[in-house]
């Protein structure tokens, strides 16, 4: 059985499995790794066409620094800081460490195994069709839940998507499904009528489902990804490509502004921290300040990946008098820096840069039609996610205590791996690749 076929089931589960059953997804993700490790060792040593061993090496370096951070924290704080060692070796501390190690190792091995496997262009189409189909099913469940819970009202946080258990995670899975459906529709000559029907239906369902989930950051990311993807898909001069992107951008901007005003989404962005409308700003400001303090106090090795909740306040009292539970600073870069230290942070930034550059190279005409089309959506996705870490939690290395985000990160990493995997291009796709150039 081919490697990508073995990983197909956990990919579908990452979208379709409710968060309460995440242990099933985790079990199949590990099983897929165990079944493909022998083939991975052979491919890594013998597949000279794999051009992205650099990403594997940078990911390995990051994991090495993460474990060095654990080692320094355990040894130093056990010998010299007895009170701190009690925190690390507490029941919650050990659970966070175990979860962190599990997450980074599963993401690393999954990416490494898939990215060095030879995946035909048609198999890449089948992978995207699987993601799009799963996304369409998830969108259908979410729309039904929205109708039953809210009566069809468009409002913020008026229902919880039943499968993902999070509006933010659901929105990003819808975005990925929409982007892949666009790729499939562009490569329609290589897809059956059934596949095209599934792609078009899923596109409509996912697009509508996005508008039932009112998440400011997610909408802005979605709009930016559509604009960038349009630019990279467009052919012709730079002016023509910018014009086509602007044709998408202008109506999207007006729609987003209208929805923001209609649903009063600017209210809690006030910089006046003494007003009741400043809850969102106050929460983020307080957690970022706390994370920065932890980073400075543990500059080189941090407090250990996943251990931020043990050192930061868990409950904040808002200016409005309410209380809110928090576990991250909503700044992925600062979270990784405070948990793993400066050395790990630098290696992580190096990894992000490598992902961006490697995906950008897939836009080259030397790659097949499907790979280039995938790059037109995945390159902007990686770029936006890398930059978005400055204002939200990372989806590249997810927070340890967010299992639903882990499933989304798994989908993102395996999608990147499929893009980077060396391809075998059938003759029919070769001819279309030539036609695509002119």
pLDDT attached to residue 194: 92
CB count, 10 Å around CB of 57?
14
| Distance of alpha carbon 161 from alpha carbon 166, whole angstroms | 6
pLDDT attached to residue 278: 47
Going from the C-alpha of 323 to that of each of 136, 271, 283, 320, the distances in angstroms are 36, 19, 10, 9
Contact (CB, 8 A) for 365 and 304: no
pLDDT attached to residue 178: 95
Contact (CB, 8 A) for 136 and 176: no
Torsion region of 96: left, alpha or beta (phi above 0 gives left; psi -120 to 50 gives alpha): alpha
Going from the C-alpha of 103 to that of each of 63, 108, 133, 359, 404, the distances in angstroms are 11, 9, 26, 23, 12
pLDDT attached to residue 354: 93
pLDDT attached to residue 272: 42
pTM: 0.87
pLDDT attached to residue 184: 94
pLDDT attached to residue 428: 44
Terminus-to-terminus CA distance in the chain, angstroms? 37
Going from the C-alpha of 139 to that of each of 17, 75, 92, 135, 208, the distances in angstroms are 13, 48, 35, 6, 8
pLDDT tens across the length of the chain (438 residues): 688 899 999 999 999 988 888 889 999 999 999 999 887 777 666 654 555 678 888 999 999 998 888 888 776 666 655 545 455 555 566 677 788 889 999 999 999 999 888 889 999 999 999 999 999 999 999 999 999 988 888 777 788 898 888 888 999 999 999 999 999 998 888 888 999 999 999 999 999 999 888 887 888 888 889 889 888 888 877 777 788 778 777 777 777 777 666 666 555 554 444 444 445 566 667 778 888 888 898 888 888 887 887 777 665 554 445 555 667 788 889 999 988 899 999 999 999 999 999 999 888 877 888 999 999 999 999 999 999 998 888 899 988 767 778 999 999 999 999 999 987 654 444 444 333 332
| Distance of alpha carbon 203 from alpha carbon 190, whole angstroms | 18
Nearest to 279 by CA among 288, 287, 291, 270: 270
Indicate the angle between helix axes 167-186 and 193-212, nearest 10 degrees: 150
């Amino acid at each position: 059985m081919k490697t990508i076929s073995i990983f197909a089931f956990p990919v579908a589960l990452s979208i379709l499995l409710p968060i309460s059953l995440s242990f099933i997804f985790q079990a199949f993700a590990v099983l897929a790794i165990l079944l493909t490790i022998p083939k991975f060792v052979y491919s890594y040593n013998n597949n000279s066409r794999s051009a992205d061993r650099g990403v594997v090496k940078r990911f390995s370096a990051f994991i090495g620094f993460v474990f060095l951070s654990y080692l320094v924290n355990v040894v130093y704080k056990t010998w010299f800081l007895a009170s701190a060692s009690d925190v690390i070796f507490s029941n919650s501390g050990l659970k966070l460490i175990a979860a962190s190690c599990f997450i980074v190792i599963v993401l690393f091995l999954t990416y490494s195994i898939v990215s060095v496997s030879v995946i035909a262009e048609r198999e890449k189409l089948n992978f995207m069709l699987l993601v799009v189909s799963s996304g369409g099913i998830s969108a259908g469940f979410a729309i039904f839940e929205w109708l039953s819970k809210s009566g069809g009202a468009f409002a913020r946080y008026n229902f919880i998507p039943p499968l993902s258990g999070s509006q933010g995670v659901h929105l990003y899975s819808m975005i990925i499904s929409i982007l892949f459906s666009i790729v499939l529709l562009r490569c329609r000559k290589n897809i059956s009528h059934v596949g095209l029907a599934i792609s078009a239906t899923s596109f409509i369902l996912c697009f509508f489902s996005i508008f039932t989930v009112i998440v400011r950051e997610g909408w802005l990311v979605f709009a930016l990804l559509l604009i960038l993807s349009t630019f990279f898909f467009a052919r012709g001069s730079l002016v023509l490509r910018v014009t086509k992107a602007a044709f998408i951008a202008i109506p999207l901007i007006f729609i987003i502004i209208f929805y923001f005003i209609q649903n009063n989404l600017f209210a809690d962005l006030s910089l006046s921290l003494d007003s009741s409308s400043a809850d969102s700003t106050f929460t983020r400001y307080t957690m970022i300040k706390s994370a920065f303090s932890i980073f400075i106090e543990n500059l080189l090795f941090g407090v250990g990946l996943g251990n931020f909740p043990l050192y930061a306040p868990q409950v904040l009292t808002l200016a409005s008098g309410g209380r809110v539970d928090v576990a991250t600073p909503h700044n992925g870069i600062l979270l990784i820096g405070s948990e793993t230290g400066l050395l790990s942070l630098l290696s992580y930034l190096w990894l992000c840069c490598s992902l961006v550059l490697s995906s950008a190279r897939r836009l080259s005409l030397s790659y097949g039609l499907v790979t280039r089309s995938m790059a037109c959506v995945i390159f902007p996705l990686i770029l936006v996610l890398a930059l978005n870490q400055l204002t939200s939690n990372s989806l590249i290395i997810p927070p340890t205590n967010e299992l639903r985000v882990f499933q989304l990160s798994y989908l993102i990493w395996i999608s990147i791996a499929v893009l980077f995997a060396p391809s075998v291009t059938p003759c029919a796709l070769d001819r279309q690749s030539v036609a695509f150039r002119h």
